[in-house]
Structure 1
Amino acid sequence: MVDSALYQPLNTIREEFRLLRIQPSDDFHSIITCQLFTASLIDKPSYNALSYEWGNPNVTKSVIVNSTELQVTSNLEAALRRIRTTHSEVILWVDGLCINQRDVAEKNIQVAMMGRLYSNTTLTYAWLGEDDGGSATRTFQFLRSFLGDFGKFVEDVDYFAIRTSENVRENKRYRGEDRVLEDIRSGKLTMNEFNLNDFHEVCRRGYWWRTWVQQELILSPKVLLLSGSASIPLNLVIAFAMLNFTIKALASEWTESFHNMSDMLRIRWIPQVVRLITTDFENLVSLVSRLQFCRVTDPRDKIYGVLGIYRGTVSITVDYDKLVALVFADLVRNLAAESGKLYLRQFPRNTVDPHVPDLPSWTPNFFRDNVDSASKTGDRTGVHESRGWSARIHPTSCPSLLRTSGCTVDTVQSVFRFSPENEASDVLCNFIGSYVTMPHPTGATFLQVLCCNMFKHPTVDILRRRFSLHMSRAFLHWILKCGMERGAFNQRFDNFIHEHNLVDIFKSVPEDISTSLQFAKFTGAIDHLVEPYKSARDHSHFLRMTPQQRMASFWGSQTYPNSFLADIDWRIPSKATDLESIRIHIGKWTRKKAIIITEQGYTGFASYDTLVGDQISIIAGCPWPAIIRPSGKHHEIVGGSFIYGMMDGELFKDGRLTDDRQQIFEFI
């Protein structure tokens, strides 16, 4: 972007950086004229900073820097034009002009300093772009009016750059809550002038989705949002979002004008940075995961862009000469050193990402993949139930090779893949029909295992929780509905009713029993009928059995309460919204997944590209059983898995995993 002849070397010992002096102009449309000069953090200079998105690099405009005409993106030029004044110079730090983008060595040093550069600003301008439609102007005007009377509460928001959510709620509770409640109850505060569409338009702008923006705004002591000629302090937007706590508490007392407040404050519409300011991250992986959907131009910035706001210790050095794959590998090693957990790749590697070439099999693609599910399930994985099984990374001279400890515990015997060509309902119904009679090593019933794997429950006890019962019931209704729609003929069910002369009997049974029996017909899950039928003195006795007696051996009477079993006959159909929710949930859960059966009889979900013969291994520190595959003298990581019976320390408790069984794996 900028001619390197403009830049003189910087003194790194004095922590030097460059600043831009923008000359004033009475003519708004005149070309931007400015000078670059050197400053030092040691001298604590006074300056402002610009936070912006570069925009389309092919759409540029001219600016004059040190008497040289340069081309910058039109979005940057527009921001400088809005910041320029008519009467005085503006001292500004702008990464695109103040860093020599062609000097990688300088860029490495300056990017590593960015956290301190923003932390020491007098004011940071956050450029959201022009406001051609006027949505920002109207939104800012409303916020100023709505929050104008909050006094000290709003002012205090200026001074928390990084606070825990507990402290934020404390500020709200003691500084402004009483006033908010009083004004809403009295009708002084209303939403009559609020335009939800305007608010959403401002919050959806591309600016908010840059990874670097999160650091820039969190670390800056004061931020002024700019859009066209409209402006507002960021603290007002934060205060507005913080009202979510108070407004929810007043749900029963809202006036009519507040009825859309819940829609307005839905977390998906609040800018990411606002949520980050009010969040305390336990570890680096949770921070990287939260910013997964933010955009970067360089994949390395997925990591470099969060280092400034992470409050822990991390030994990652900014280096734009390093291969992206090795930057990601460094993060895995740092996460292991920080938390004792080894976050290996979970998702399929069936395509090569041109942005991240030569990615080792064990390294997650942090540019594309989300490791959030890892952080959510890792603490309850069997590996962490035993002391001494935290991450063990052994030294190696090859940065793309991971040498670590673990133990192979099983082998994949069968694979049922979900794909765009195979509907999830077809795959699940075929799986149920084929394996419903297979005993599980833990003794759990088929339904228990299926629901635990589907909803990522490590133990059957969780199935007793209200939400799990709701999800299980809706899931069973969904299976029945899919079977009815498919009109599947099941040979095992047909053989059963003919063997026991039940054809005519089943035609005349009451509707509630007939409906429940269709579950057996469409899935092949008939074994729960056998023992109750054999113990019955005659057909009529069998039909008089309670749902608990008739179904308990299949559903698991020790897991589900009687109230659930009594409804298992589907006499109360699940709501259409519940079925749709389950359909969506299953669609998300089965994406890039496969159901696997192991040689020892375990079932679970694994990466889509798992093959028969792949090994299931517990890798020290890895929060899930890893699917691995031999590759010459080494191994490859195929992906992660969730396998009921291995997720709660069972393999340690029964003695199958001990320190003396660990072996060394080398993953490439």
Structure 2
Amino acid sequence: MPETQSGKLSNTTTKEYQSSTLQSRDSFRLLRLYPQTPSADIKCSLKEVNIADKRGYGAVSYVWGVPNLTRKIYCGNAYIGVTEHIHALLRRVCNSSRDVYIWIDAICINQKDLTERSTQVLLMRKIFSDAGQILIWLGIDPGPAAPAFQIISDFNVLCDKAPKGAFRDNNHERLQSAEDLHAFVQGSNGRSIANLFQHDWFHRTWTFQEAFSARPRAALVLYGDYDIEYEELSVFAVYMCSLAIQGSLQTHRARMGVNHVVKIKQYANSENTLLGLLKITHARRATDARDKIYGLASLVDPKELPYPPSYEIDDHTLFRDQAVHMIKRAGNLRLLESCIFEDTVAAGLPSWAPSWAPTDTLVTAFHHEHEPFCPGPAVDPTRTPRVDGDILKVYGAVVDAIRKLGCKMELSDFESNTTSFADHENVIELLLDRESKELRDLATAYGSPEMRELARAQTLMGGRNRDVSRADADAAIKVRNHRRVSESNGGGASFGDYSVNDRAWNDFNEVAYQLMHAADGRRLCLTKSGRLGWVPLTSEEGDAISVLSGSQAAIVLRHQEDNRYQVIGGSYIHGIMDGEALKEPGQDDQLGFLQLV
């Protein structure tokens, strides 16, 4: 395949490089950097290769930022405009004695050619998984994030040398005391780590796909003159989440950055669906909203898309067509749990078609393939969802309504440069504990005071333990231990007073984890029938609670007219998640087709 050769040029070259059309849909370009001294102009060539070719190269994962093409590199008798950000990376990877081959999208994809951009989308996973090394480029100046590289390296050394009595997670030994771990994210250490995980790279859709595709230990994080293996950073994030100490970081954004890294580690070796990946990346950003789907396309079966990626289709059309395709292909309504009412309305979509555009609202799914919930009628081929224009006809029933709502508490509002997010979490958890007790006293559906307390505890945990098994009678003990540790910490006691092998400490971590996940994007509620639950933040008193065939969550609906409803979002209503509502007298008569608009 052709290669554009570099010649000797001065930096006064005025002709801009023009990419030739790729000869095959299975081809991509590699950038060849010629040997050069640190002060010389960067000279290069571009070579077209087939995706099936095995060639040693590195792939670059980075955030574009503001596309000001203020620098030049020289290719043949022309120049390629690049940003200062990219120029600094190329300067760093150039070698004085040998050629270097790398793939970087801003140069190797003709960004002006919509057809080429569309076809290259499906090659992304192969490009990154075949790369000899992935360079995660965070930028020129790490600033206050610089100490984090040594902190994380030291932390991993300590984990490797942990006492033999420590329990294990992901084949790494853990330290004995929560205080040992907590100390790593306090004071200036915590601020440095927070600055690192707040970086845009940890919050973008494309970078998820790129890190997801990397082979083990093949990725290196570069930030100015600092570097660390991505695997080390990933292990550190897993430790933080497993002991719930990521809350010690100062901002919600830093905490989310840690969670994003953990999600990649959790899902990288699994069989994933597009809907599953869209859910776990919903809070990630993309400059082009279409990339919320296209940035994941190479990770799943192409048949999961309604048509091949095309940047000639607008995001509104893509999101609606994707929803229709998912419903028809799966024959179920699992995507309704991902609907965020205010986002679908803002996007001008039917309320049943999730907008995957970047959002500040993160909604964690209540359903799971392990012991799934099934609140609605059994799936029947004669009652599958039907799309008629902008109307989705679904089989099910309205079984309850919201009587009373808890307070709105959006975690992203709790930001501070001086106080740890854990302190805010502790306040939120105690407020939810108190609020749930007030609602519990009105929850007549559960009978005795003991059963009401158990229902409250299981509701706070979203009906599940941290290992995704169903929350059982132990939930009440776990919630009591959580409150005991929370109150002792707030009263001046130290988390270090608890061993990682202490039942109270483990219960505190588990309930804190489940509670904050259930509370993200939701608020507590009491229904007219006296049940407790979690419903979307935008729910209103009087909104209907429905159970639909093919949905693993109860769905909050808002009545419009006749038999038409808007979808507000997925919910957990304790006591109906296994079809109990349909077993009550008269409820069978309510089953029928509802129209979602």
Distance 2:210 2:147 in 1: 21
The match for 2:407 is 418
The match for 1:363 is 353
The match for 2:290 is 300
Distance 2:550 2:96 in 1: 60
Distance 1:628 1:62, change over 3 A: same
2:85 aligned partner, one-letter code: N
Distance 1:36 1:346, change over 3 A: closer
Work out whether residues 440 and 532 of structure 2, in 8 Å CA contact, stay in contact via their aligned partners in 1.
Answer: no
The match for 2:204 is 210
The match for 1:9 is 21
The structure with the largest helix share of the pair is 1
The match for 2:32 is 21
Which among 548, 552, 557 is matched to residue 628 of structure 1?
A: 557
Distance 1:433 1:80 in 2: 60
The match for 2:527 is 597
The match for 1:219 is 213
Distance 1:624 1:277 in 2: 22
Distance 1:643 1:341, change over 3 A: same
| 1:321-368 CA-partner distances (Å, limit 9, x unpaired) | 333344344554565545945221567634778xx6213212334332
The match for 1:383 is 375
Distance 2:381 2:586 in 1: 14
Distance 1:449 1:228, change over 3 A: closer
Gaps of 5+ in 1: 151-165, 182-190, 249-265, 480-573
The match for 2:279 is 289
The match for 1:263 is none
Which among 61, 69, 72 is matched to residue 82 of structure 2?
A: 72
Aligned residue for 1:359, secondary structure, equals coil
| 1:140-165 CA-partner distances (Å, limit 9, x unpaired) | 99689969x99xxxxxxxxxxxxxxx
1:621 aligned partner, one-letter code: G
Distance 1:378 1:322, change over 3 A: farther
Distance 1:104 1:401, change over 3 A: farther
Distance 2:363 2:189 in 1: 33
Distance 1:384 1:431, change over 3 A: closer
Query: Is 2:135 the counterpart of 1:139?
Result: no
| 1:382-403 CA-partner distances (Å, limit 9, x unpaired) | 336845499933254x3x5433
Shift of 1:95: 0.7
Shift of 1:130: 2.9
Shift of 1:608: 4.1
TM-score normalised over the length of structure 2: 0.66
TM-score normalised over the length of structure 1: 0.60
Aligned residues: 502
For the pair shown, which has the larger CA radius of gyration, 1 or 2?
A: 1
Work out whether residues 376 and 396 of structure 2, in 8 Å CA contact, stay in contact via their aligned partners in 1.
Answer: no
Distance 1:465 1:374 in 2: 19
The match for 1:318 is 309
Work out whether residues 58 and 73 of structure 1, in 8 Å CA contact, stay in contact via their aligned partners in 2.
Answer: yes
Distance 1:34 1:454, change over 3 A: same
Work out whether residues 16 and 80 of structure 2, in 8 Å CA contact, stay in contact via their aligned partners in 1.
Answer: no
Distance 1:111 1:346, change over 3 A: closer
Distance 1:241 1:47 in 2: 28
The match for 1:606 is 535
Distance 2:456 2:571 in 1: 14
Shift of 1:109: 0.5
Query: Is 2:22 the counterpart of 1:30?
Result: no
Work out whether residues 386 and 393 of structure 2, in 8 Å CA contact, stay in contact via their aligned partners in 1.
Answer: yes
The match for 2:61 is 51
Shift of 1:57: 2.5
Distance 2:228 2:536 in 1: 47
Distance 1:202 1:116 in 2: 28
Q: Once superposed, what is the RMSD of the aligned Cα atoms?
A: 5.3
The match for 2:445 is 440
Percent of paired sites with the same residue? 20
Shift of 1:96: 0.8
The match for 2:567 is 637
Aligned residue for 2:335, secondary structure, equals coil
The match for 1:651 is 581
The match for 2:246 is none
Distance 1:17 1:435, change over 3 A: closer
Work out whether residues 441 and 602 of structure 1, in 8 Å CA contact, stay in contact via their aligned partners in 2.
Answer: yes
Query: Is 2:366 the counterpart of 1:374?
Result: yes
Query: Is 2:453 the counterpart of 1:457?
Result: no
Distance 1:358 1:611, change over 3 A: same
